[in-house]
Structure 1
């Protein structure tokens, strides 16, 4: 799905950038151009970025919770 219509950025591209290390809106803007035009996509892009961070946190917790 297109998140940033101005720059034709999809949710998949945002997730890929997050997987490659983008961890802030500033980094997403610099890397992909998200929210650099009209800004209407900022909230959705931030939500996708936060989802990715939460999934990383859950993965880490699950790894740490496993018995040795």
Structure 2
């Protein structure tokens, strides 16, 4: 699904960029161009980033056990 209409960025692109690591909105903006025009996509993009970060935290807990 498109998250950023201005730059044609999808949720899949954001998830792939964030996968397996913790990144900031600034890093996502610099790499993908997200939220660099109107900025309306920023809130939804942060939600996606939080979901990915939570998945990373959950998977590391499973390995710790």
TM-score range normalised by the length of the shorter chain:
over 0.9
Q: Contact 1:22/1:28 (CA < 8 Å) preserved in 2?
A: no
**How far apart, CA to CA, are the structure 2 residues paired with 1:54 and 1:19?**
11
* Long gaps (5+) in structure 2: none
**How far apart, CA to CA, are the structure 2 residues paired with 1:29 and 1:22?**
14
Q: Structure 1-normalised TM-score?
A: 0.89
**Which structure is richer in relative contact order (CA contacts within 8 A, separation 6 or more)?**
2
**How far apart, CA to CA, are the structure 1 residues paired with 2:20 and 2:58?**
18
* Long gaps (5+) in structure 1: none
Q: Structure 2-normalised TM-score?
A: 0.93
**How far apart, CA to CA, are the structure 1 residues paired with 2:11 and 2:17?**
10
Runs of 4+ more than 6 Å apart = none
How many residues matched? 65
Higher Cα Rg: structure 1 or 2?
1
1:3 match: secondary structure: strand
2:62 match: secondary structure: helix
Cα RMSD for the two superposed structures: 1.3
